[in-house]
Structure 1
């Protein structure tokens, strides 16, 4: 049986351009396969709230900053795939829940030519999601349909149903993250991942995890249960339960 290879994603979480580029330089020296830029955490690069409109000067300025830093990141991280993510507050991030500005900035990143992957939250309205998806396909950008639940973990059938909803979006990669309250929750995520992976017959790559300290095992067991990517850190974490890249590599090697 062919060994299932898990790719490692490391987040860039800096608030300003200097910190972002320093983090990227450190990550460039690691074996990380992919680097996620969390634009929502780059608070010094945008001044946007829920009332902002896509054509306003503040949004134009945020877009210009975004494109400038993306270009620099692409140069610093040559040889690694760059994932662009704006995590909104309704999905556990820092960006205002402003659908129109979200679409404008994500679309600008997709058209930049500097990213290989883009994260699309499943809370994005269907018409907006479809427009970004089509734009990504035209620009050769891989799409990730993502869902985060920081409150609880549903049962196996509900987790699998969420996978099916994400698959129906048309995205290339399906991502879910659930917060466990007991060990059974962690096992549910792992089992649901393995079951859906078999049913999907390898048509979609997956990123699945159980968050927090309790769920850490899920971040290193992808080769066994079917998650194709895992998140690790070089410096600051971007989600509860993330571990340093050296630790993740050691544990995956043991498993």
Structure 2
């Protein structure tokens, strides 16, 4: 199967070692820009801007006005814009109409390289965001987050395949383990999807302390990226980026290519 890759600035997802993504979670414009400056000395491939943390969110004008100054401070790193809704562990609830409007405005701003769309917001919402993004050559990460449990391996693969079939450039799934068996389920499903079904990069992770190993070793099973943190984490189990890079470097020479 021919594998597609996804380029965000100079970083290519689906090629080479796993990419490191770090979120910015500022609640004000000043905090967001300071968060961008704090990333400067770190080895980071992609920056995720968690727009839902903004006190003004989901105000479209405020988000668009901040996107340009933020992108300018990232030193050429790719920018992934994410409004994580309260339904999937984010900071705020948002209507479907406002969700589409905010993502579309960020896409049209020309300052973001990718947007995240929650796959279970509904097929119409997903279609509108994907179409708007692809019209502007902006990549789409389709995501699903389960903060209660870990689905079966078959269900995880099914969700990732549906994201792929819907046209998302990067299917992503995160879930919550209750024991080591759940962690193994997530890693097994990642390998099954990567080895037998994926024709593009995928990202998976098991959250919390029990799932931390997935953030370190996901590349062995087919996950194209992992999330670290500088300062405040955006999800449970994220590892400080300096430690994460040391672990990835140690494991890298043995990691299989995908």
Whether these two folds match at TM > 0.5 is: yes
Deviations 1:18-54 (A, max 9, x none): 11111101113322110000010112x23x6xxxxxx
Paired position in structure 2 for 1:100: 97
**Contact 1:145/1:169, CA 8 A, preserved across alignment:** no
Quote how far apart the aligned CAs of 1:65 are.
1.0
**Contact 1:205/1:228, CA 8 A, preserved across alignment:** yes
Pairing 1:30–2:26 present: no
Q: In the aligned structure 2, how far is the partner of 1:158 from the partner of 1:9? A: 25
Quote how far apart the aligned CAs of 1:78 are.
2.9
Pairing 1:239–2:235 present: yes
Q: In the aligned structure 2, how far is the partner of 1:86 from the partner of 1:41? A: 8
What pairs up with 1:149-168 in 2 under 5 angstroms?
149-168=146-165
Quote how far apart the aligned CAs of 1:4 are.
4.5
Paired position in structure 2 for 1:189: 186
Match of 1:5 among 17, 21, 26: 17
What pairs up with 1:1-255 in 2 under 5 angstroms?
4-43=16-55, 45-46=56-57, 62-200=59-197, 203-255=199-251
**Contact 1:4/1:223, CA 8 A, preserved across alignment:** no
The structure showing larger relative contact order (alpha-carbon pairs under 8 Å, at least 6 residues apart) is 2
- Superposed CA RMSD: 1.3
SS at match of 2:93: coil
**TM-score normalised by L of structure 2:** 0.89
Aligned residues: 237
Q: In the aligned structure 2, how far is the partner of 1:127 from the partner of 1:99? A: 9
**Contact 2:204/2:223, CA 8 A, preserved across alignment:** yes
Q: In the aligned structure 2, how far is the partner of 1:160 from the partner of 1:215? A: 18
Instruction: Indicate the larger mover: 245-254 or 229-238.
Output: 245-254
SS at match of 2:39: helix
Instruction: Indicate the larger mover: 80-89 or 27-36.
Output: 27-36
Q: In the aligned structure 2, how far is the partner of 1:169 from the partner of 1:223? A: 24
Q: Which runs of 5+ in 1 are unaligned?
A: 49-61
Q: In the aligned structure 1, how far is the partner of 2:73 from the partner of 2:53? A: 19
**Contact 2:146/2:175, CA 8 A, preserved across alignment:** yes
Q: In the aligned structure 2, how far is the partner of 1:182 from the partner of 1:102? A: 34
> Which 4+ stretches in 1 moved above 2 angstroms?
none
Deviations 1:94-121 (A, max 9, x none): 1213111111011100111001110000
SS at match of 2:120: coil
**TM-score normalised by L of structure 1:** 0.90
